[in-house]
């Protein structure tokens, strides 16, 4: 029995569009283009900004269901960093950090991203962030246990491998979906990026901007592309960074019915990122990279050793799956994120070297590795007692985990929340994307990806497995087309070796969006914001003056990796 209202599927895709205080509802004849549809009214919220710390905060009342704009409402929490310049400001810049499920209000990562936009942008724009509906202070979606159901424990491993582990994962996914279906409430049916885009357009009107200026990061790039498709005449400037292929992220291309994480190309991207990174390490040499000299073989040997015999570090246990799925992936994700000088990739290399020493000995002293240099930290004597090496290793691994917890947008778990706080992520991603409903299709997808991406393929399948039969309604989701022509074409930014949002997503978006330009940063890690003065210069020209570069551009980072440029 569901305890939230269900709504009939609107003909076409069910997308709604707010234009000058009104909502456009699509129909089948509109060929999924909203501008051809009928109009109903939706009120523009009134905003009352007040101080909250060093920023300002406000709340906006918006329709829960844009098919019923005069019905129930939800309250959106938002924050504003006022323009720092003394002259006339250009307007409001809306910033979204993706996730999906990233907060804005009171989140230190959001404040870091605001600073990383550069002084010129901060001087000319009020920068506004909205907690997306279902997240943070905006009607957060939680999934308390379903009444009367036997609780199912969350699996200890993030990458099920044995038949029993797969069975346990599928059972937990079932329990999570059932709990969300029965206890999450009405918000679960209204969490698509199309709904978030409609909210953003109402807030745009509320702040008095005639058109939207936007910077979207990671999943926020899909929000930007969705907004552009729904409101093509409402876009002043649209910059997207760490870009998702909008087709792969929603429907997939004809004949591609694989789970969404596989369609995005993430398994292959992570494999490529690791391979190119370790080749870069070999190029840097042993004095700069502790794994140099067959670095891939050495990383793999450490992984295989941990898979065969986990390493106990006090309360911490490191096995093969956590080494690759937790520490390696997180190190690639947060390295120098937002311009913060935290070299997690180099910390991972140092940690891998310490495990190698603990398992196989320090090697030949003549090779020049008697001391391990760690960026920003004291060197480690590799002949030190085992207890000292274990203590330093535990510290490096804890630093990677802490950095990921602080910088990767993940909603905090609510009390007794079966989804462990991730309903905000699944509520959007599973609603926006078409996925196999049969859990066995996910089992097969994990096997298929393992054949071509053995280290990371299954992880990129199972992390999204709750989407198999997700209970939230997709009636209001927008799933294309995305080939939108804008008066000022978008600026697209991506890292050449971003494993979370592969550069292929940026290339696909560029090919879809007429006149757009792609800036490729020669870097590893996720997103380009704050990592390159070259990128910042292009972003400033675009957001402030609406000036695109003459063609696609390549940029270098402001830092080196193992002492070498990317």
Neighbours of 423 (CB within 10 A): 32
Q: How far apart are CA 86 and CA 163, in angstroms?
A: 64
Concatenated DSSP letters for 131-160?
A: --TTBTTBS----PPPTTPPP-PPPS-SS-
197-231 pLDDT, tens per residue? 999 999 999 999 999 999 999 999 999 999 999 99
User: Does residue 90 register a pLDDT over 80?
Assistant: yes
Taking the C-alpha atoms of residue 91 and residue 522, their distance in angstroms, rounded to an integer, is 31
Measured CA to CA, the distance from residue 479 to residue 474 in angstroms comes to 10
Mean of pLDDT values over 112-129: 96
Q: What is the pLDDT of residue 104?
A: 95
State the pLDDT at residue 364.
55
Average pLDDT score over residue span 499-520: 97
46 vs 137: CA distance, rounded Å? 17
Quote the percentage of the chain above a pLDDT of 90.
80
* Structure confidence by residue, pLDDT tens digits, 157-186: 889 999 999 999 999 999 999 999 999 999
If you write DSSP's letter for every residue of 432-484 in order, what string do you get?
HS---SSHHHHHHHHHHHHHH-TTTHHHHHHTTGGGTT--S--TT--------
Name the nearest CA neighbour of 45 among 192, 187, 199, 189: 199
pLDDT beyond 60 at 257: yes
d(CA 190, CA 475): 9
Show the domain range for 501.
17-130+212-253+476-555
| Arithmetic mean of pLDDT, 319-345 | 93
Per cent of the chain over pLDDT 70 is 90
What residue ranges in 319-403 does DSSP mark as E strands? 371-374, 377-381
pLDDT tops 90 at residue 566: no
Structure tokens at 133: 């509906």
Residue 459 maps to a domain: no
Residue 36 domain flag: yes
Write down the pLDDT at residue 101.
Answer: 87
Residue 40 confidence class, pLDDT cut points 50, 70, 90? very low
pLDDT band at 410 (very low <50, low <70, confident <90, very high): low
Helix axes 423-432, 219-230, angle to 10 degrees: 50
Contacts of 26 (CB under 8 A, 6+ apart): 10, 11, 12, 13, 14, 15, 16, 17, 32, 33, 34, 36, 37
Average pLDDT, integer, range 280-286: 95
Q: Is residue 311 part of a domain?
A: no
Q: 114 in a domain, yes or no? A: yes
* Whether 247 contacts 508, CB under 8 Å: yes
Residue 507 lies in a domain: yes
Tell me which H or E stretch contains 24.
strand 22-25
Q: Is 177 a member of any domain?
A: no
Q: What sign results for the dihedral spanned by CA atoms 384, 387, 390, 396?
A: negative
The answer to whether 19 touches 231, Cβ cutoff 8 Å, is: yes
The residues with which 39 forms a beta bridge, in sequence order, are 24
Is residue 350 included in any domain, yes or no? no
Work out the average pLDDT over 412-426. 77
Return the pLDDT at 498. Answer: 95
pLDDT band at 20 (very low <50, low <70, confident <90, very high): very low
Output phi, psi for 93, to 5 deg.
-105, 120
Q: Work out the pLDDT band at 419, boundaries 50, 70, 90.
A: confident
pLDDT of 347 strictly over 80: yes
**Residue 415: its pLDDT value, please?**
59
pLDDT at 421: 77
Q: Categorize the per-residue pLDDT at 370 as very low, low, confident or very high, splitting at 50, 70 and 90.
A: confident
For residue 526, being part of any structural domain is answered with yes
Would you say residue 35 has pLDDT above 50? Answer: no
Tell me how many domains the chain contains: 1
Long-range contacts of 207-211 (CB under 8 A, 24+ apart): 207/47, 207/92, 207/126, 207/128, 209/91, 209/92, 209/236, 210/236, 211/235, 211/236
Higher-confidence position of 74 and 26:
74
pLDDT at 5 over 80: no
Q: What span, in angstroms and rounded, lies between the C-alpha atoms of 529 and 272?
A: 22
The CATH number of the domain holding residue 481 is 3.40.50
Sheet of strand 55-63: strand arrangement: 50-52, 55-63, 73-81, 125-130, 91-96, 212-217, 235-241, 491-497, 517-524, 553-555
More confident residue, 304 or 407: 304
Instruction: For residue 130, give both structure tokens.
Output: 């909205």
- DSSP element (H, E) containing 122: helix 119-124
pLDDT at position 281 is: 97
- What's the pLDDT score for residue 39? 40
């Amino acid at each position: 029995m569901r305890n939230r209202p269900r709504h009939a599927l609107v003909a076409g895709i069910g997308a709604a569009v707010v234009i000058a205080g009104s909502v456009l509802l699509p129909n089948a004849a509109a060929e999924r283009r909203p501008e051809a549809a009928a109009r109903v009214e939706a009120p523009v919220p009134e905003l009352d900004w007040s101080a909250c710390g060093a920023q300002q905060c406000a709340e906006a009342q918006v329709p829960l269901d844009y098919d019923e704009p005069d019905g129930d409402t939800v309250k959106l929490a938002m924050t504003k960093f006022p323009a720092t310049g003394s002259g006339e400001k250009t307007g409001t810049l809306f910033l979204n950090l993706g996730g999906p499920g990233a907060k804005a209000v009171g989140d230190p990562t959001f404040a870091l991203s605001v600073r990383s936009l550069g002084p010129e942008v901060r001087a000319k724009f009020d920068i506004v962030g909205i907690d997306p509906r279902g997240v943070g202070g905006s009607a957060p979606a939680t999934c308390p246990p379903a009444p009367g159901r036997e609780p199912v424990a969350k699996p200890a491993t993030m990458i099920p491998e044995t038949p029993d582990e797969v069975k346990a994962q599928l059972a937990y996914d079932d329990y999570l979906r059932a709990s969300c279906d029965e206890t999450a409430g009405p918000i679960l049916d209204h969490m698509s990026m199309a709904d978030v885009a409609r909210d953003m357009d109402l807030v745009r009107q509320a702040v008095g901007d005639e058109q939207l200026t936007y910077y979207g990061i990671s999943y926020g790039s899909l929000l930007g592309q969705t907004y552009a498709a729904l409101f093509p005449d409402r876009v002043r400037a649209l910059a997207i960074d760490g870009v998702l292929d909008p087709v792969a992220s929603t429907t997939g291309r004809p004949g591609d019915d694989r789970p969404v994480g596989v369609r995005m190309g993430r398994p292959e991207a992570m494999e490529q990122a690791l391979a190119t990174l370790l080749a870069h390490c070999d190029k840097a040499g042993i004095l700069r990279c502790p794994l140099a000299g067959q670095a891939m073989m050495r990383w793999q040997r450490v992984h295989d050793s941990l898979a065969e015999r986990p390493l106990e570090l006090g309360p911490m246990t490191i096995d093969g799956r956590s080494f690759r799925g937790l520490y390696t992936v997180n190190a690639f994700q947060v390295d120098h994120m937002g311009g913060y000088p935290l070299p997690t990739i180099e910390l991972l290399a140092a940690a891998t070297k310490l495990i190698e020493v603990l398992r196989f000995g320090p090697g030949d002293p003549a090779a020049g590795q008697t001391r391990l240099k760690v960026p920003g930290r004291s060197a480690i004597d590799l002949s030190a007692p085992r207890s000292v090496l274990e203590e330093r290793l535990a510290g490096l691994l804890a630093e990677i985990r802490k950095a990921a917890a602080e910088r990767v947008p993940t909603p905090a778990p609510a009390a007794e929340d079966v989804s462990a706080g991730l309903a905000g992520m699944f509520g959007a991603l599973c609603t926006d994307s078409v996925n196999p409903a049969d859990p066995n299709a996910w089992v097969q997808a994990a096997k298929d990806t393992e054949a071509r991406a053995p280290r990371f393929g299954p992880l990129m399948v199972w992390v999204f497995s709750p989407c198999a039969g997700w209970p939230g309604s997709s009636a209001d989701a927008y799933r294309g087309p995305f080939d939108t022509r804008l008066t000022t074409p978008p600026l697209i930014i991506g890292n050449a070796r971003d494993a979370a949002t592969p550069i292929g997503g940026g290339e696909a978006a560029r090919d879809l969006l007429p006149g757009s330009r792609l800036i490729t940063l020669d870097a590893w890690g996720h997103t380009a914001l704050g990592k390159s003065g070259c990128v910042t210069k292009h972003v400033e020209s675009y957001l402030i003056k609406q000036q695109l570069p003459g063609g696609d551009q390549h940029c270098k980072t402001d830092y080196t990796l193992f002492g070498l440029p990317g």
